[in-house]
Structure 1
Amino acid sequence: MLRELVKRWDNHKVLVRWLSRFFLDVDCYLARRGIPRLREVGLTSFHELVYREVHSTAKEAVLELIHKEREGEQIDRALVKNILDIYVENGMGTMEKYEEDFERFMLQDTASYYFSQGVKVYPRGFLS
């Protein structure tokens, strides 16, 4: 599922880039009128039609891969990075989606994991 999501995201970005180039005159006209540009509309479309539907499932799958790596298994780190890039890029220039939809859960999961392993986890800045 994760590989397919990365493939579709990459295809979507290529198509949006080519549409923006092909319709450059229209895109410039839209920008002068204060209408969202084609790239922004493309990202918004992916976000609303795909990202909203799969980000929760993708989060669980990535957390499972992280669990496997903690237990000594080899995982596809490039795949994990590519999925996390999707979270970041869907924040449209901010880290908001990554932080809301993944980081918060990963930090909770990490604390739970190390707690179950008997390791004390301190909040940021606690020891400094």
Structure 2
Amino acid sequence: MANNFRRMITLEEGLNTIQNTTNKLQNILENFPDPHLELSLCGREERMNLYSIIYNMCTQKPPYDYSQQLYENYKKIFEDYIKSMVLPSLREKKDEILLRELLRRWSNQKTMTIFLSKGFHYLDRYYISRQGLTSLEEIGFLSFYHLVYDEMHRQVMDAILAMIDRKRAGEPIDETLVNKALTFYLEIGESTGKEEPKHFAETMIKQNAAFYAMSRLQI
């Protein structure tokens, strides 16, 4: 007769394993020039191992079903990363350098959200949907909105407006950078259901129609 025994995973053990995987992910985001490519090459096994851990921790018999704790831990992963790595890197930058760093951080946030939401997919499908909670993908984007956008959007908008003013004055600027910065506003608004960033981007595009006709920004 087949042995159906499955070793129980304690909360501490499971969270430690998740943290180790998260540390590897964040190391790639911080240290590789193209983290999305790097993860596509070496991240599949890590993601599958993460999925297996999450599945086991969610399907153990009560009181060892840790679905709620995993949901809270998922949110904490993003909050801790943004507060410890993302915000400090943005606060020390200004003008065009700030815009470039914001775009890099937003790209990393999307990569991290996709990777972790797939690893935590069982939680999303069988716990979050039944509880009516915010989805894993939404958590990734909302954490960036509430922690990064809320604090930095004034400085970012000022940098964009300053570049547009320079363009109007006849100075050469990096038009692609402005294009991408406004695309960020459209994306984060669409990803979070927030109207403010979309309104800002759309207003800037309408007010500077000639400029954006040249750079061909699509909305």
Question: What TM-score bracket applies, with the shorter chain setting the length?
Answer: 0.7 to 0.9
Query: Aligned residue for 1:113?
Result: none
Deviations 1:39-78 (A, max 9, x none): 1011110011000111111111101111111122222122
1:33 aligns with 2:115: no
Counterpart mapping for 1:3-14 below 5 A: 3-14=100-111
Percentage identity across paired residues of the two chains: 39
1:21 aligns with 2:118: yes
1:2 aligns with 2:99: yes
If you compute each CA radius of gyration, which structure gives the higher value, 1 or 2? 2
Whole-Å Cα distance in 1 between the matches of residues 164 and 129 of structure 2? Answer: 42
1:68 aligns with 2:166: yes
Unaligned runs of 5+ in 2: 1-97, 209-219
Unaligned runs of 5+ in 1: 111-128
Query: Aligned residue for 1:120?
Result: none
Aligned counterpart for 1:96 among listed residues 182, 195, 204:
195
Runs of 4+ in 1 over 6 A off after TM superposition: none
Whole-Å Cα distance in 2 between the matches of residues 17 and 102 of structure 1? Answer: 25
1:68 partner amino acid: R
| Number of equivalenced pairs | 108
Query: Aligned residue for 1:77?
Result: 175
Q: Match of 2:184, SS? A: helix
Whole-Å Cα distance in 1 between the matches of residues 151 and 194 of structure 2? Answer: 19
1:16 touches 1:39 (CA, 8 Å); kept in 2? yes
Whole-Å Cα distance in 2 between the matches of residues 34 and 95 of structure 1? Answer: 20
TM-score (norm 2): 0.44
Q: CA deviation at 1:97?
A: 2.1
Counterpart mapping for 1:42-57 below 5 A: 42-57=140-155
Whole-Å Cα distance in 2 between the matches of residues 57 and 97 of structure 1? Answer: 15
2:197 partner amino acid: Y
1:16 partner amino acid: T
2:112 partner amino acid: L
Whole-Å Cα distance in 2 between the matches of residues 80 and 28 of structure 1? Answer: 38
1:26 partner amino acid: L
2:196 partner amino acid: K
Instruction: Provide closer, same or farther for how the CA distance between residues 99 and 15 of structure 1 changes in structure 2, counting only shifts above 3 A.
Output: closer
